Structure 1
Amino acid sequence: MSRERTVAELDAVIEQTLRDSQLVHEHAAPGRWLVDLPGTKKLKTVCGLIVGEHALRVEAFVCRQPDENREQLWTYLLQHNARMYGVAYSIDSVGDVYLTGRLPHAAVTADELDRVLGAVLSYADDHFNTMLEIGFGTSIRREWEWRVKRGESLRNLEAFADFVDPGRRSRAAGTRDDGA
């Protein structure tokens, strides 16, 4: 049986991996790291790496508790969990959504950290807009309508254009969306 790796040994692997990946990070205390993962839909996901007695815990906040359609969102997330690598969607006591996982100390290598951080980024970013549409659809529509009425910019809501106004794309192309 191999000996347990020390916090200092694991910190050295984590630090070198983050430096090599050129990721913005903070080493808050021995065995505690915060890593900024830059995305496109979710602009930044902060991922915590916490060295425990037997495993490295991976935690990343994805979005706050949904305003609506909680069960639909949980179903969506649980269906994805079966196909995910290294982390899974979870919720806290108030319903906020996280990605969480654990790596045994022996698995903490540069390649595995890169793979798990990539998974966190992919799962947080790729599904973010869909999570917002399911859990915050009414708020998104209300904000869209408010901005349209006042002539305000829709720039940071453009990702939801087809969700809020499904006929918009066909009207912009000069076609009808009523099937005629």
Structure 2
Amino acid sequence: MSRERTVEELDAVIEQTLRDSELVHEHPAPGKWLVDLPGTKKLKTVCGLIVGEHALRVEAFVCRQPDENREQLWTYLLQHNARTYGVAYSIDRVGDVYLTGRLPHAAVTPEELDRLLGAVLSYADDHFNTMLEIGFGTSIRREWEWREKRGESLRNLEAFAGFVEADRRARRAADPDGGA
């Protein structure tokens, strides 16, 4: 089977699956797709589907390199890799976090694409806030305090209220006199 025909056939399967799933997507070139996966914690995960010579490559950016606790975050992600389906957490050369995987051409069916995209969405969305707490906790706490002092909205930080409050309780427990 020629490569052109493989790309054409796989593009048809991918296009129909994305339409049936009503997912926003782009098709910038033969064998290349960008799919918007709507989440709740991570509002949108853009997933790339790239038809290669022997497999469909799946890539989705999850978060930028952590500011702190890199090893703790990477340990957390590696532990989750043992339970993932079709994709695994990975990092690029600068430390940004991705979900990546490969699906053999023969396995590219609407059902399998749906399952794989669902896995990407679940893994990017379900663990997103925990990844941010581990890798950006200091920044989150600083931003929360800055907004509180200025009377600014905390609306887009509400997901971290428990994280910030737990940190405050821990600081109070460590210093019951409040530094006096």
- Taking structure 1 as the reference length, the TM-score comes to 0.90
Unpaired runs of 5+ residues, structure 2, are 169-175
After superposition, residues 157-176 of structure 1 pair within 5 angstroms as 157-166=157-166
For 2:76, the aligned partner's letter is Y
> Counterpart in 2 of 1:110?
110
* Cα deviation 1:51-82 (Å, max 9, x = unaligned): 00000000000000000000000000000000
> Counterpart in 1 of 2:172?
none
How many residues align? The count is: 169
Report the secondary structure of 1:57's partner residue. Answer: strand
> Counterpart in 1 of 2:72?
72
> Counterpart in 2 of 1:126?
126
Identity %: 89
After superposition, residues 69-108 of structure 1 pair within 5 angstroms as 69-108=69-108
Equivalents in 2 of 1:139, 1:123: separation in Å?
23
Unpaired runs of 5+ residues, structure 1, are 169-177
After superposition, residues 16-55 of structure 1 pair within 5 angstroms as 16-55=16-55
Displaced runs of 4+ in structure 1, greater than 2 A? 2-5
Equivalents in 2 of 1:137, 1:153: separation in Å?
19
> Counterpart in 2 of 1:6?
6
RMSD: 1.9
Structure with the higher helix share, 1 or 2 = 2
- Taking structure 2 as the reference length, the TM-score comes to 0.90
* Cα deviation 1:86-126 (Å, max 9, x = unaligned): 00000000000000000000000000000000000000000
Equivalents in 2 of 1:64, 1:167: separation in Å?
23
Shift of 1:3: 8.8
Report the secondary structure of 2:100's partner residue. Answer: strand
